Amino acid sequence: MKVIKSIPALKSAVRRWKSKNRTIGFVPTMGYLHEGHLSLVRASKKKADVTVVSIFVNPTQFGPKEDFRTYPRDFERDAGLLEKEGIAVLFYPDAEEMYPGGYKTYVEIYDLQDKLCGRSRPGHFRGVSTVVLKLFNIVRPDYAFFGQKDAQQAIILRRMARDLDLDICVEIMPIVREADGLAMSSRNTYLGPDERKAGLSLSRSLRQAKTRIDAGERRPDVILSAMKEMIAAEPLAMIDYIEAVDMDTLEPVKEISEGTLIALAVFIGKTRLIDNMIV
Ligand code: AMP
């Protein structure tokens, strides 16, 4: 596996692959890899001739009071995991490489960026869309892989690819969970033992919602208030939002139906966890 830190070096590797008509799969990450990330890597390896993984903790998607500085990082471990997966190239730029002095250009995906997580993280999706468009222009992938775990992010990036006529197939892959149901996340490492237990209330509330929906319940208010009640019973949990929305517009639905996205964000102590399911 080659570790490439410079944009020109990565672009020249891409040119070589393109000249041989190799298809390129791309998995952007912020590192501190877990099985959720690796599931995307494996999906890419299956679909594309070569796979590029990027590790970049993107400063522009963190708010001033968020965890950019303390975000978990372990490059050696990540590189070892990717080496084992048989990845061709790991792109590992630093912030100066991605945002050199004088940087001025940002991408905004109107409306979608302001809903759900966008409400409590202003500017977050502007940072995400900007860095991903930059990475797309550098890697020029045929396929890009994102996790349903960050459903709003995936929906926004799919919208961006359509709206800006990018010839990139955006693939959204299922949420990978721990054995007890907690959605895997690099931020789970912040949780102490009691918080870890309280964090299970997110997936538990989604399972309960699924049982009710399977039994025929279609009213969002009934489903969402039962979820709220379950989570509110956890003293360590503070709900940011729980919503049932349309998968394309992220607007709240009047009736739950196939394809409705039920998404939630909950603070467990200082850690903000997210989870969701698609009905
Ligand atoms: P991150 O490193 O958190 O920016 O995540 C990089 C990619 O991995 C994103 O597309 C995430 O949605 C995806 N991802 C993170 N956690 C999971 C998970 N538990 N299951 C599936 N995909 C995930």
**Pocket of ligand 1, beta carbon within 6 A:** 29-30, 36-37, 39-40, 146-147, 149-150, 173, 175-176, 183-186
- Residue 146 Cα to ligand 1 midpoint, Å, equals 7
Residue 253's pLDDT band, with cuts at 50, 70 and 90, is: very high
Where would I find the H helices in 20-116? 35-47, 75-85, 95-98
pLDDT at 20: 98
Tell me how far apart the alpha carbons of residues 224 and 198 are, in angstroms, rounded to a whole number.
18
Helix, strand, coil percent content, the chain, rounded in steps of 5: 45, 20, 35
Lateral strand order in the sheet of 261-268 = 237-245, 261-268, 271-278
- Residue 94 Cα to ligand 1 midpoint, Å, equals 20
Contact between 203 and 181 under an 8 Å Cβ cutoff? The reply is: yes
pLDDT at 94: 98
Q: Tell me the best of 149, 178, 189, 261 to mutate to test the pocket of ligand 1, counting ligand atoms within 8 Å of each CB and taking the most.
A: 149
Residue 111 backbone phi and psi in degrees, to 5: 70, -60
The atom number, within ligand 1, closest to the CA of 150 reads 12
pLDDT at 89: 97
Q: 213-219 contacts: CB < 8 A, separation 24 or more?
A: 213/256, 213/279, 217/256, 218/255, 218/256, 218/257, 219/255, 219/256
How many angstroms separate the Cα of 173 from the Cα of each of 27, 146, 230?
11, 6, 27
- Residue 101 Cα to ligand 1 midpoint, Å, equals 29
Neighbours of 28 (CB within 10 A): 24
Write the residue with the smallest CA distance to atom 10 of ligand 1. Answer: 146
Tens digit of each residue's pLDDT (9 = 90 or more) over 2-26: 999 999 999 999 999 999 999 999 9
Tens digit of each residue's pLDDT (9 = 90 or more) over 161-171: 999 999 999 99
pLDDT at 120: 95
Tell me how far apart the alpha carbons of residues 176 and 184 are, in angstroms, rounded to a whole number.
6
Contact between 189 and 32 under an 8 Å Cβ cutoff? The reply is: yes
Write the residue with the smallest CA distance to atom 22 of ligand 1. Answer: 147
Tell me how far apart the alpha carbons of residues 213 and 261 are, in angstroms, rounded to a whole number.
13
- DSSP secondary structure letters along 132-151: HHHHHHHH--SEEEEEGGGH
Q: Tell me the best of 26, 27, 30, 40 to mutate to test the pocket of ligand 1, counting ligand atoms within 8 Å of each CB and taking the most.
A: 40
- Residue 19 Cα to ligand 1 midpoint, Å, equals 31
Write the residue with the smallest CA distance to atom 13 of ligand 1. Answer: 147
Contact between 277 and 213 under an 8 Å Cβ cutoff? The reply is: no
Write the residue with the smallest CA distance to atom 8 of ligand 1. Answer: 37
The atom number, within ligand 1, closest to the CA of 183 reads 19
Q: Which domains does the chain carry?
A: 2-173 (3.40.50.620), 186-274 (3.30.1300.10)
- Residue 216 Cα to ligand 1 midpoint, Å, equals 31
Q: What mean pLDDT is reported for the chain? A: 98
Active site residue 124: no
Token representation of residue 92: 């590992």
Write the residue with the smallest CA distance to atom 11 of ligand 1. Answer: 147
Residue 255 backbone phi and psi in degrees, to 5: -140, 140
Angle at 135 between CA 133 and CA 139, to 5 degrees: 120
User: Span 217-221, mean pLDDT?
Assistant: 98
Instruction: Report if pTM > 0.85.
Output: yes
User: Span 197-215, mean pLDDT?
Assistant: 98
- Active-site residue (options: 37, 121, 134, 158): 37
Residue 44 backbone phi and psi in degrees, to 5: -65, -45
If phi over 0 gives left and psi between -120 and 50 gives alpha, with beta otherwise, what is residue 255? beta
Tell me how far apart the alpha carbons of residues 117 and 177 are, in angstroms, rounded to a whole number.
20
Tell me how far apart the alpha carbons of residues 154 and 152 are, in angstroms, rounded to a whole number.
5
